[in-house]
Structure 1
Amino acid sequence: MDERAEQEAAQQHRKDMPPLRIMFYSHDTFGLGHLRRSRTLATALTQTDPQTSAIILTGSPVAGRFTFPERVDHIRLPGVTKLSDGSYISQTLGAGIEDTTSLRAGLIQAAIERYEPDLLVVDKEPTGFRGELLPSLRWLRERGHTRTVLGLRDVLDEPTALASEWERKGATRAAEELYDEIWVYGMREMYDPTKGLPLSQDARSRMHWTGYLRREFAVDVDVPDSPYILITPGGGGDGAAMVSLVLSAYEEDPTLEPKAVLVYGPFLSGELRDRFEARVAKLNGRVTATGFDRHIEALFVGAEGVISMGGYNTFCEVLSFDKRAVIVPRTTPRLEQWLRASRAEEMGLVRMLEETRDGMTTRAMIDAIRNLPQQNKPSEAGANDLLGGLDTVIARVDALMNNMGPQ
């Protein structure tokens, strides 16, 4: 059977099946990465099959700012905040973290029981926040009617630190025993996020490298008419140093071009943002800024280049929209962004501004911005070959649903 005939047979098979229900778990104690990744996957799967619906369980405090496509909805779990010492507190309830976690676990269990998903896709954390997902995963395993998938971004952390973290959380055992498949949203030749983890050969045989998740732009949104570079620290909560460095570059060099569009992200706020706004105002339009843009893809499309931190979603957008980029990765509390940016630079996909090599100086940022036009685009280094993630995920869902016998 040729490829077209196989696709038509798969489409007919889906039409003959009852409506598919998919649930995504996205713990989101900080930042936007997990929610945005889950939303991208949910959108692709529901657009492919008009009978499929999806619900995202998320702890993100800004989930309500996003629009969700038809047949995709979200349930907001009570939020938690990570303190500087690594501990957590309830974001708004005033309850202890144990009570908040218990409440979240109960809401997760109730949602799963009521929605009865055919597939549960868990983002990054095999046991959920503080183990809140374990009761639901075990319940699903006992019933045997729901397929479970652990979805991992391309890079998690430095191997030794990751192994210690997973051992402490019981994540390795959960990945071994409670998931039908493990999806890595990246490429094996880029990085193996499970490097250093004591996963069995059986668990590794259930791993699938999907490729990166391509982003699309289909919304008619106004963008600046004149040339600009896009400055984005992602969610923004840990992006103050990068933002300040970019502003210093435009302050020190009045001839620096092109203009810059700065998107702070929803978590860069308060007095710090007020100080940045005052600096932006003094640049007389050479830098314009906004707090949060739910259609940031449009700004990527129109940009001459990008200065950003090294989060997974931003990296996918740089590849998808084929933008010359300088990545300024964070190195704490994880080395994830540095590992991704370092490997991507080796492959010729981006340039990295690295503190020990380049120096986090105003001069280094000025040079990085000036040199952007001389960089190769990601496509020139084979980026298009890396972006098959959504197609692979759709195929894996078909395969899992076609094999719904006893587990």
Structure 2
Amino acid sequence: MTPTQDAPPDRDQTSRDQTSRGPRVMLYSHDTFGLGHLRRSRALAGAITAADPAASALILTGSPVAGRFAFPTRVDHMRLPGVIKRSDGSYASRTMGMSIEETTEMRSGLIRSMAEQYDPDVLIVDKEPTGFRGELLPALELLASQGRTKMVLGLRDVLDEPEVLAAEWDRKDAIKATEEFYDDIWVYGLRSIYNPTQGLELSTSAKARMHWTGYLRRDLGPLDTPPEQPYVLITPGGGGDGAMMVDLVLSAYERDPDLVPRAVLVYGPFLSGETREAFEARVEALQGRVTTVGFESRIETLFSGAQGVVCMGGYNTFCEVLSFDKPAVIVPRTTPRLEQWIRASRAEELGLVAMLDENRDGWTPEAMILAIRRLVKQSPPSSAFSDGLLDGLAYVTARVSAMLRDEPRKAAE
């Protein structure tokens, strides 16, 4: 047979020439709400490229504030059209005047196109096996058919209560996608603390592909000068659901004129509008006992100088508390998921943090006053550290290196 376009491609021509291009890692982070997925992907990309000077990484994200972050060398990002989650749980296009179906279709096409053009050696998918509303499936099918990309599903330490998670994954056909497409399943935590997949009917082979990495240590590199000390750092994460906690802290300082130390409050980019304006008026009346920051992409500096932390229970904030070894009080949300409450209650059991529980302690100014006063005597998380607790980034970089040395996954027949 003479060589034509109908001839099967030569294996040497279709395989990647690693002598002419460095490893490429693509990370998918749907980011319909908050900062957690983007910040986790950014930490992973930075660690992978730092460990391998030839590697590059591309993050696909729906976060509306992605452009406000600095990205490490050889790490870039592409912003997907944004969507918002309404109070009733439904979704809508953020700004484009398109239906959610049209927006999802556009996002899906962009993701597939980037997967085809970037041609990643490793794809790391954050939390959602099929992506937002299944938007990732065309890209997964493309990469699986080519058989050259190792695909990883990355899960935070806690997803939701088992029964709720099982119903959600069944609705999204996520079990099937996990079994079919993913070479590895990484859990960014420890099995001894919590298993996020309990309640899911994963096969024996899928469970054998699971790796508990440890938590993802936050960058403790060069930091700016923190504010005047002592102070307690108050952070609701992205801030979109943090108004209750901020109100509680301000009420505590208003109720007790002798409450010390002073507080440095980071609103987060999603706590804005009239709610924030009302908070600012209350802060001004406290005459310096509480100071505020709108959005701090280098919040690590504020963590470094804090005497203690009052925060919500999101994964990334929890990692920062552990990394900077700060006594912390977690005020976990309980809707729309129990994720934060599960994480905070388990961490309190282990002596890593204290929790201000709505039902047990009450979300009152008096309860918050007591919690802040106790921070001075509270032990740091290191007093209860277990082996491997913060080894997540080191584990991930070693695992990526091992995956790149393996033979490509065989294409589906």
Asked if TM exceeds 0.5, the reply is yes
Contact 2:229 2:306 (8 Å CA) reproduced? no
Q: Aligned runs of 1:111-130 on 2, under 5 Å?
A: 111-130=114-133
After TM superposition, give the deviation of residue 167 of structure 1 in Å. Answer: 0.2
After TM superposition, give the deviation of residue 84 of structure 1 in Å. Answer: 1.1
SS in 2 for 1:246: helix
The one-letter code matched in structure 1 to 2:259 is L
Larger fraction in helix: 1
Q: Percent identity?
A: 66
Structure 2: gaps spanning 5 or more residues: 1-17
Q: Aligned runs of 1:3-402 on 2, under 5 Å?
A: 18-382=21-385, 385-402=388-405
Deviations 1:266-313 (A, max 9, x none): 000000000000000000000001110000001001000000000000
- 2:342 and 2:370 mapped to 1: Cα distance? 23
Contact 1:319 1:383 (8 Å CA) reproduced? no
Deviations 1:239-278 (A, max 9, x none): 0000000000000001000010000000000000000000
- 1:160 and 1:246 mapped to 2: Cα distance? 33
Deviations 1:98-125 (A, max 9, x none): 1000000010011111111000000000
After TM superposition, give the deviation of residue 18 of structure 1 in Å. Answer: 4.2
Contact 1:319 1:384 (8 Å CA) reproduced? no
After TM superposition, give the deviation of residue 228 of structure 1 in Å. Answer: 0.3
Deviations 1:53-111 (A, max 9, x none): 00000000000000001100000000001111111110000000110000000100111
SS in 1 for 2:155: strand
Cα 1:196/1:400, change in 2 over 3 Å: same
Deviating 4+ runs (over 4 angstroms): 15-18
- 1:122 and 1:318 mapped to 2: Cα distance? 25
Cα 1:105/1:162, change in 2 over 3 Å: same
Contact 1:81 1:91 (8 Å CA) reproduced? yes
- 1:406 and 1:187 mapped to 2: Cα distance? 27
Contact 1:32 1:60 (8 Å CA) reproduced? yes
Structure 1: gaps spanning 5 or more residues: 1-14
TM-score by length of 2: 0.94
Name the count of aligned residue pairs.
394
TM-score by length of 1: 0.95
After TM superposition, give the deviation of residue 218 of structure 1 in Å. Answer: 2.5
